[in-house]
Amino acid sequence: MGFKIEKDIKIVNERATYRTEFTQALNNLEVGDLISGLSKVDVYKYRVNFYTKNFKDRKFQFWKDPETKRYRIQRIG
């Protein structure tokens, strides 16, 4: 049985992709960046992503903007 050995091939990491558009946006946030215009339902629905293993090294906070009455999520660390 002959096996072909290949060298210098890039490893494709399929786990680097995120399932939803929101988690992709969350992944791209730098410290100080925020996502705005969310409803209370959206914020509490997306909040569980803050505690997954993909984001364990990052910190986020959310609050209600007094002017627009919409919620914002900001990366703080």
pTM exceeding the 0.85 threshold for the entire prediction: no
In a domain? residue 17 = no
Query: In the predicted model, is pLDDT for residue 16 greater than 60?
Result: no
Which is it for the CA torsion 24, 30, 34, 40, positive or negative?
positive
In a domain? residue 38 = yes
- Residue-range definition of the domain harbouring residue 60: 22-75
Q: What is the pLDDT of residue 21?
A: 84
Q: For residues 1-40, b (16+ Cβ closer than 10 Å) or e, as one string?
A: eeeeeeeeeeeeeeeeebeeebbeebeebeeeeebeebee
In a domain? residue 3 = no
* Of 9, 36, 5, residue with least CA distance to 22: 36
Q: What is the pLDDT of residue 66?
A: 92
Considering the chain, what is the average pLDDT of its residues?
84
Mean per-residue pLDDT for 57-76?
A: 92
* Of 21, 64, 16, residue with least CA distance to 46: 21
In a domain? residue 1 = no
Q: Tally the domains of the chain.
A: 1
